[in-house]
Amino acid sequence: MRPYSGRKRRTNRRGALLLGGVLFTVLLIAGGAVYLHVRVVQKTVTSYAMGAPVSITLYGKDGAALEQCGRAAAGAVNALERQISVRISGSEVDRINQHEGPASAPESAYILKQILPICRQTGGKYDPTLGGVLRLWDFESAPKTIPDHRQIDLLLHDVGYDNLEIRGDRVELSAPSALLDFGSVGKGYACDKAAEALAGGQVSGGVVAVGGSIGLVGEKPGSRLYKVDITDPLDKTGVFGSLHLPGGSFISTSGAYERYIEFEGEAYGHILDARTGMPSDSGILSCTVVADSGLKSDALSTACFLLPPQEGLALLARNGAEGVLVDENKTVYVTDGLRNSFSLSPGSGYRLEGK
Amino acid sequence: MKRLFGRLDALLIAGILLLAALPAALYFAQPKSVRANIYVKGELYQTVPLDIDRDFTVTGNLPVVIRVEKGGIRFLSSPCHDQVCVRTGLLTRGGSTAACLPAAIVIRLTGDGKESDGVTY
């Protein structure tokens, strides 16, 4: 070994200082990271509502307070369900569907005021008074048959949002066999209610999911943007792409794969065109909409599903919403506002439009 | 010896550095394999590793049979009326979910580091 010279000794001293500095910095960073990691806690509250699992994940500093917030948000979802469910006797919708004159129905009146412009823009393909026809199809109990054409046509006669009369908080449905059904917007609107319940105080960030409708709140600790996967319409245990979105975004998806009837080798999806009473033949497999409210995103995703891709994209633009549409050729259409937020999963077999 | 930085010092410094790196190493060395969380009536009931194939029954509002196979998990059978849970098929990726709502049982996969904050469907 070469003997140490004086110069070398000085280098060693410098080396020691340098190492000391490095060590100090490393400890500082490690300590900081541990501190940041420990500081934010996560709580998830799960429940059931509207025939779907509800999951509310919250970030903040106080775990007990977060749990309380989560329960309050889940409670808000259940409270909404009691008002707008078609199946709960005594709900607003149930009372409107009794056809006994104007019923006091503040939530229903609010929903209708928001979605009727969208219904008009679809030329009546999307219509919340289609409940009678939906009941006839009975997608929920997965029957082995489809309804008779004549029965559908009979019920279609009374379908039409023009038969709704909204005065302040009171709603009346005059056509005797028409039934109001908010199945197309309930979960999205429930996300609004949950997000509202979380506002102010303890929650720094969170994700509300009512079935497949999602509301993003505040900031995700450490990465700012949330990642939301979109289910592959041809393999519902997989995903075909992801969205990276900030808090305040609400996401809903409509697709026929979610619920359908198989009859004589054909699949009949649960999203019906109100003009025919039959499953949509728009050529859309899945339609994901991002908007500033869950009600809007859920209504638009259903409306979009009923339209051919270009018309759907125009509908979104007209309503200031963004979306990701998939057609039966496995082409993916992404609106301009999501170009940088959407990523296609590698190997998904889907293809971006124009690429 | 007048050197500030001797062999022992070097050892000591290396030791301290290793100690400092230990928490990070432990954190990153956590197995990233997928696990299944099974929720009954909204509460976490059981966490199941997916490397050993087996069938088992979980009872919520109804008793359902769950099968672990091929590194994934699925509802094998359920006495529910709609069979949506069984039709969902095999879950293998983090973040994917299957539910039997009549039985009030949800399976959610976590832990491969690829999971998202939510899945829209």
Q: Residue B72 is part of a domain; what is its CATH number? A: 2.60.320.10
Spatial distance between the Cα atoms of A308 and A273, rounded to a whole number of angstroms? 12
Asked if residue A55 belongs to a domain, the reply is yes
Which domain, by its residues, includes B4?
1-30
Q: Which residue has the tokens 């928490």?
A: B23
Asked if residue A29 belongs to a domain, the reply is no
Which domain, by its residues, includes A303?
42-352
* A139 to A131, A145, A237, B16, B96: CA distances (angstroms): 12, 10, 20, 64, 23
Give the confidence band of A319 by pLDDT, cuts at 50, 70, 90. very high
**pLDDT tens for residues B24-49?**
777 666 555 788 999 888 778 999 98
Residue type, position A124, single letter: G
Q: By percentage, how much of chain A surpasses pLDDT 70?
A: 96
Residue A250: list chain B partners with CB under 8 A. Answer: none
Query: What sign has the CA pseudo-torsion A321, A326, A327, A332?
Result: positive
Q: How far apart are the CA of A100 and the nearest CA of chain B, in angstroms?
A: 33
Q: How far apart are the CA of A155 and the nearest CA of chain B, in angstroms?
A: 25
Q: How many domains does chain B have?
A: 2
Interface test with B, best of A54, A187, A239, A290 (most B CBs within 10 A): A239
Asked if residue B117 belongs to a domain, the reply is no
Cβ <8 Å between A16 and B4: yes
Spatial distance between the Cα atoms of A253 and A231, rounded to a whole number of angstroms? 9
**pLDDT tens for residues A189-200?**
999 999 999 987
Same domain, B42 and B71: yes
Asked if residue B67 belongs to a domain, the reply is yes
Residues whose CB is less than 8 angstroms from the CB of residue B106 and which lie 6 or more positions away in sequence, other chains included: A46, A53, B38, B39, B97, B98, B99, B100
Asked if residue B71 belongs to a domain, the reply is yes
Same domain, B96 and B55: yes
- Residue of B42, B92, B97 with shortest CB distance to A47: B42
- Residue of A13, A33, A231 with shortest CB distance to B120: A231
Structure-block tokens of residue A121:
């823009």
Specify the pairing of strand B105-110 against strand B35-40: antiparallel
Same domain, B17 and B69: no
CATH number of domain containing A227: 3.10.520.10
Spatial distance between the Cα atoms of B80 and B82, rounded to a whole number of angstroms? 6
Same domain, B24 and B52: no
Q: How many domains does chain A have?
A: 1
Residue B93: list chain A partners with CB under 8 A. Answer: 237-239
Q: Which residue has the tokens 């939510």?
A: B118
Asked if residue A215 belongs to a domain, the reply is yes
Same domain, B84 and B71: yes
Residues whose CB is less than 8 angstroms from the CB of residue B6 and which lie 6 or more positions away in sequence, other chains included: none
Same domain, B24 and B71: no
Closest alpha carbon to A336 in A309, A316, A350: A316
Interface test with B, best of A229, A234, A290, A343 (most B CBs within 10 A): A229
pLDDT at res. B12: 87
Asked if residue B116 belongs to a domain, the reply is no
Cβ <8 Å between B120 and A213: yes
Same domain, B6 and B56: no
Spatial distance between the Cα atoms of A240 and A232, rounded to a whole number of angstroms? 5
> Would you tell me how many other CB atoms lie within 10 Å of the CB of residue A350?
18
Read off the pLDDT of each residue in A331-349 and give the average, rounded to a whole number: 93
B102: closest chain A residue by CA: A51
Read off the pLDDT of each residue in B2-27 and give the average, rounded to a whole number: 80
Residues whose CB is less than 8 angstroms from the CB of residue A206 and which lie 6 or more positions away in sequence, other chains included: A56, A57, A58, A59, A198, A216, A217, A218
Give the confidence band of A7 by pLDDT, cuts at 50, 70, 90. low
**pLDDT tens for residues A89-133?**
999 999 999 999 999 999 999 999 999 999 999 999 999 999 999
Q: How far apart are the CA of B38 and the nearest CA of chain A, in angstroms?
A: 12
Asked if residue B7 belongs to a domain, the reply is yes
Q: By percentage, how much of chain A surpasses pLDDT 90?
A: 70
Cβ <8 Å between B104 and A48: yes
Weakest mean pLDDT among A15-29, A120-134, A290-304: A15-29
Same domain, B51 and B66: yes
Q: How far apart are the CA of A204 and the nearest CA of chain B, in angstroms?
A: 15
Q: How far apart are the CA of A334 and the nearest CA of chain B, in angstroms?
A: 16
Asked if residue B10 belongs to a domain, the reply is yes
Asked if residue A36 belongs to a domain, the reply is no
Same domain, B54 and B19: no
Asked if residue A208 belongs to a domain, the reply is yes
Residue A285's φ and ψ, nearest 5 degrees, are -95, -35
Longest CA pairwise span in chain A (Å): 104
Q: Which residue has the tokens 């849970």?
A: B85
Cβ <8 Å between B116 and A229: yes
Asked if residue A237 belongs to a domain, the reply is yes
Cβ <8 Å between B5 and A53: no
**pLDDT tens for residues A170-189?**
999 999 889 999 999 999 99
Cβ <8 Å between B81 and A142: yes
Asked if residue A233 belongs to a domain, the reply is yes
Mean pLDDT of chain A: 91
CB pairs under 8 A between A and B: 117
Structure-block tokens of residue B12:
């000591």
What ipTM was reported for this prediction? 0.83
Asked if residue B48 belongs to a domain, the reply is yes
Asked if residue B115 belongs to a domain, the reply is no
